[in-house]
Structure 1
């Protein structure tokens, strides 16, 4: 098969750190449903910090997670960030958390899942932002990727801007 001549050799993905974020989660609200098990993990509070912005995750958002029958979780997260100068930023992201079968007993225990090495499971996100704050409008025009992992009481992410 011949390669389509319209395909160009473009550079690969490059990223730079945007921020690290930790979110404390409320106890899940188990909803159920026909597509798998739906649960809401409310964001109780949190923090984020990076080279260009830092602040807090406000209560009231959360993850409307869907635990699929194949043991992958689809994330549907919406939260509000308050930057340390008072500006507010809406952050939403989808993603996937996939746990290999041999790790499921360890990851199923909320008291100890944060002790499992994040390199042993797949937890990736695609954050997007919206804000009207003049100093942060640049966030409206970027694409990001995030690497998630569990911490005591919640989740954490390393978020990178795709260049």
Structure 2
């Protein structure tokens, strides 16, 4: 069996199509520094609030979310976030995502000091999944999303897209 090439694949497997889902803005306190553990350097961002808005759903982010970050030796960070969205029509949606924020050391240092930098100067991506009990938003249970982030002084803003 030989390895397939992109040229030999059906058109559906040659690219990824997306549809805008929402833009989300999070307020983040911290970070709370746990420090250098045997596994990594750990810090936690506390998320007391936020908002999201899109064509199919909009609302607020409830207090109680957190962003457990692993800081790598090169200064990049992996994110592990869990939060609860509350839609404008009072439906609760669990949202979790992993992510990566990386870039040149000087840019990452500025971000860590709360300085807003050009979003094109670093890489910041997430992969949200959702859990919801409401029939109205049941479609979200079968969505894998991707997001592009930008770190502002008091938290990130994300453009989130449904992967079709």
Query: Equivalents in 2 of 1:19, 1:50: separation in Å?
Result: 4
Shift, 1:35, TM fit: 2.5
Cα distance, 1:106 vs. partner? 2.2
CA RMSD, Structure 1 to Structure 2 (Å):
1.8
State the partner residue of 1:59.
63
Cα separation, 2, equivalents of 1:104 and 1:130: 32
2:22 aligned with 1:19: yes
When normalised by structure 2's length, the TM-score is 0.90
Q: Secondary structure at the match of 2:157?
A: strand
Structure 1 equivalent of residue 137 of structure 2? 136
Q: Is the 8 A contact 1:35 1:68 kept in 2?
A: no
Alignment partner, residue 81 of structure 1: 85
State the 1:75 CA deviation.
0.5
CA distance in 1, matches of 2:90, 2:65: 18
TM-superposed CA distance for 1:28, in Å, is 1.5
Large movers: runs of 4+ above 4 Å: none
Q: Residue 16 of structure 1: SS of its match in structure 2? A: strand
Q: Gapped runs of 5+ residues in structure 1? A: none
* Structure 1 contact 97–123 (Cα < 8 Å) conserved: yes
| CA separation of 1:102 and 1:41: change in aligned 2, threshold 3 A | closer
TM-score (norm. length: structure 1): 0.91
Shift in Å, 1:9: 2.8
Task: Give the count of matched residue pairs.
Answer: 159
